[in-house]
Amino acid sequence: MTLSINKHSENIFWFDLSPNNELEFISIYLVVDDKIALIETGPACSINNLVKGIKLAGLNPEDVDYVVPTHIHLDHFGGGGHIMEICKNAKALVHPKAYKHVSNIEKWWQGSSDFLGKVAQLYGRPKPIPEHRIISAEDGFEVSLGSLSLKAVHTPGHAPHHITWAYGDEAFVGDSAGLWYPDLGISFPVTPGYYRHDLALESIEKMKSLNLENIFYTHFGPRVVSNTFEETKKEFELWIGIVEEGYKQQLSSDKILEMLFNKRPGLLETNKNHGVHQKDTHKGTVEGMIEWIMRKNEKV
Ligand SMILES: [Zn+2]
């Protein structure tokens, strides 16, 4: 497996982590300013590639100052504890709601295993991070990296503990703006079990108000911002509309996914191209949206 480093700008580098040789699934970013920040770690299983990528960028793991997940789903931070052992001088910046899970992994691992099944095993088990090496990042938290600071913008919806990290007019958006397919030029929502559609839309608005030039998806790669957030919001609303229609007709999640395949050009192709970790991602999104609709209906 040969990794290669992409240089986005003077300060931002990124590479395809390729966990279990799956390509174009997880992008890892490095911000190289006076201080060095590693954005996302990927899962535990790809720790060797993560270290390789840091070194290929010309950095020594001991020089990394901050390890910064957008959220702690296993594909984003399952390797957090592993890389913290190697990046000996780094602090981890995590959402207050994620703090206890990364210091004591049992509930986190159990919950992830229950939800992801075999895929959790593929990702591998996280390692705990000692509390004195974790910084809790409230909404608006800022840390200077030198020329610019890294700022925490809480963006719940995909997960309650999701953070978009802004660096000047660029931002690492994790999964809060969905999945970006650069070859198709389109992004689709990604929504797990406890998805909050109302918060996801608010978070998209919040990101739009940052007036960003570029955003960096974890799945997958950089995107120049134009009317990106308007399009993203429309796509989320379109999906929830279709899912709601299918739910009213009491269709299964597979049938609703088929409706989406028919209505969203390119979606079926992305579903076919997904590797082993992402195999049921779009179906999972339909189910996440169904759960949201059910919870919303119960409240009325
Ligand atoms: Zn993800």
- Ligand 1 centroid, distance to 150 Cα (angstroms): 21
- Ligand 1 centroid, distance to 133 Cα (angstroms): 24
| Rounded Cα distance, 100 and 72, in Å | 11
pLDDT value, residue 300: 60
- Ligand 1 centroid, distance to 220 Cα (angstroms): 10
Q: Would you kindly state where each structural domain of the chain is located, as residue ranges?
A: 5-235
- Ligand 1 centroid, distance to 52 Cα (angstroms): 21
Alpha helices, DSSP H only, in the chain?
47-56, 74-77, 80-86, 99-103, 106-116, 118-123, 197-208, 228-248, 253-263, 267-273, 281-299
Q: What is the DSSP string of 25-81?
A: S-EEEEEESSSEEEE----GGGHHHHHHHHHHTT--GGG--EEE-S--SHHHHTTHH
Alpha-carbon dihedral sign for residues 207, 283, 126, 100:
positive
**pTM for this predicted structure:** 0.97
Convert the pLDDT of each residue in 211-245 to its tens digit.
999 999 999 999 999 999 999 999 999 999 999 99
- Ligand 1 centroid, distance to 300 Cα (angstroms): 31
Domain 5-235 annotated CATH 3.40.1360.10: no
pLDDT value, residue 2: 81
Counting as low any pLDDT under 50, the low residues of the chain are none
Alpha-carbon dihedral sign for residues 55, 59, 62, 68:
negative
- Ligand 1 centroid, distance to 159 Cα (angstroms): 10
- Ligand 1 centroid, distance to 191 Cα (angstroms): 10
- Ligand 1 centroid, distance to 206 Cα (angstroms): 20
